[in-house]
Structure 1
Amino acid sequence: MLRHLCRLVFAGLLLWPALAAAQDRAAVERQFRSWINDTLRPRAEAAGVGDATLRAAFDAVRLDWDLPDLVPPGSAGDVPQMQRQAEFSAPARYFRPNAVEGAAAIGRQMAGRHATALAAAERATGVPGRIILAIWGRESGYGRVDIPHDAFRVLGTKAFMSRRADYFTDELVALLQIAEAGHAPPGAMRSSWAGALGQPQFMPSSFLAHAADGDGDGRADIWRSEADTIASIASYLAAHGWVPGRDWGFEVVLPDDVSCTLEGPDQGRTIADWADMGIARVGGRTFPDHERAGEGYLMLPAGRYGPAFIVTPNFYVLKDYNMSDLYALFVGHVGDRIAFGIGDFQGDWGAIDGLTRGAVADMQRALVADGHDVGGVDGLAGFKTRRSIGRWQEAQGARATCFPTVALGTRIGG
């Protein structure tokens, strides 16, 4: 009997953390319901959203605890960040040959199938059809990829308890406005884990600002209409400053005597000036005459461990769609493969050892302490972090490689 009692007590001790967690989540769910009534409802009503729309959206919705970067009420705010976006992974993995050529091959089919809509969008905005296609392919596989999440659940959860709660609250109100106006077909309010909607994966505020009617039926339907999807992507890029007549960029050969620390959109010079420094396009091609007087920027997504590029202001317009160098590079490259039939980059992605975001963040903190501007301690190796690494290397009398590695991490701040 005593042994049986001990087993019961031990089992109860094992169950206690799970029961306590369940009770804590139940309490947070109750806070969520109060937040909907006390905080979200007034914001929604002020934006013209009626009670019926709010109830239809949230009466059956519970929090999604599987989303990344949540900060539940009462937590210390130091919940480890997760990064689910492929755009922030190792460059070589992002540019897997099958993925790149697959997107381009289907894009070539779509170019013929939707030639009229693409030509109309390009006439209206100056955005090339190949760029529109590449974004469409990357975002939703040309409308073929399943969009798995309930948009109200995702944005409700993130608005209530994420690191960027104010941003997601604004997006949630915009989503409710979309529902109130009846823009989405029944059952179409599905989203990515970040709350992006439809075939172009617009955040709700982007839909309200940039969704366009491409098929002339008086609606902007980014869920079912390919023509509207095409027109909406073009509208977005035009509004964010796409420069008609300019390319997105060019793969180049970076001479050994040109420092990788010259990377970045704040260190631009004319493309003719870059050429005078010995930077040339790969394959012996020349820069187009109409581009030579325009400003260009050195872009090295893997430092000296990968291909090099001179990009134009349009590259940074692509980054407005998704704030990732690899994303913008993928779109430009796939677009070129669709239209011009080019092959892989000529520069190789080096064998870069993988670093966690925490390890990169440690390097960033050490660089900041040394007086460098890394663009924020976020664990992501953006251009400011890359060139800060290069400047640190040069200050030590070493050759700049401008990319975080395991070996370098033991030296910076070590």
Structure 2
Amino acid sequence: MLYVTDGHTRRRTDLPTRRRGILVLRIHLGQAVLDATGMRALLVADVLRRALEVHGVQVMATLAPDGPAHQDALSRPVLDGFGIDTPGAGTDTDPPADAHIGAAPPPAASTGVWIRVGRVRQTTDAVARDATDAPADCADPLAVRLALLAGPHAQPVDLTGSVLATATHALEGWRRQVARWACAPSRPVPADIAQAAEAAIARDLATPALLELLRHVAAADTFPDGAKFETFALLDRILALELTREIGYVQTPHGGGPMGTEPLRLIVLRHAKSAWPEGVADHDRPLAPRGRGDAPAVGRRLHKAGWVPDTVVCSPTRRTRETWELLAPELDAVPAVTYDSRAYGAGTSELIAVVRETPARCRTLLLIGHSPGVQDLTLALTQDTAADEALTRARDKFPTAAIAVLALPGPWQQLAPGSGLLIAFATPRDRGD
């Protein structure tokens, strides 16, 4: 179970983490223009959604239709920058909410608990009144996210220039550390850390406790680097601070070692869910409705994580082409695309040959293919570390619209089996993992 404190009664209220159907969150912004307190309400809803979805609970988050704020006041690029999924526009016909999130209590007739959000007190040197304006002294919106996560969500918070500077410094330092730890052999998350993290998020969304766990793990000499990496990656599924963003762009401690400086990045993507129309050849099968929804989400995920490809190699089938065409607009980039027939039905050795032909100027390659080739390629290139959670998941199942991100030594032409590190594995169910 996950419990929150009801703002009406000040009592603990359990939210089910194992249930059928959809858990409904209603977000109350209270302003026609999105201000910092409204952004904090969206952030609390986002953390709650992530925590519930880790437990397999489906969540529907919508804006309350009873106030002056509405979806038109929200900018998806701005929310993407803060790591927040854009909520739907609520209507009077929506199902009753299980939880209301906002600084002010919901209307008296509302059902569900009230998750209170403390107001954000700003100084003019920190953040403009309109939350869509980037802070002048904080180029990374995720530093603002970190600053807002650092205190209990129900308490007011001061967002000053010094607070943002501290958050920016901490975030940059963690990302550099994570990039170095990613080059070490993977080790499991320590059991006591995993238990403490689960207890913290189940205890009224105690994000300050999660951040304290990160500080503890980073400073401890008793944890191997591989365990530190896995811990930060695990907690980032809730915190969404893009802690792995610098992987591949930070010089490793062993400079001339197996990964060296600025390793190459290979993104392996299985096409999104396809349909099976009667009488249609396999090469011509289109995407199913679910696949047409999953493909753009892949693009958004790549963009948010900083994994934007320089070059794309795509199988020429209809379902792989449609996957690329739907995800490409989300990247804010125009990489070179090659439709290579060898990526259709290819085995591991043939796919490795395709990757070896990548031009030297390319640092990040996206390969869009099919099962079982994409899974076999990922497993063949990855160093076999049994304790690696990402590798275990990739080995168990590589579903449609899943992505595997590997860091590889250069050059492409010398790509060899077992030479890569699997730094991330994500499926549609991990939305925002």
TM-score class, shorter = under 0.3
TM-score in terms of structure 2 length: 0.24
Tell which structure's C-alpha radius of gyration is larger: 1
TM-score in terms of structure 1 length: 0.25
Name the structure where strand makes up a greater proportion of residues: 2
Name the structure where helix makes up a greater proportion of residues: 1
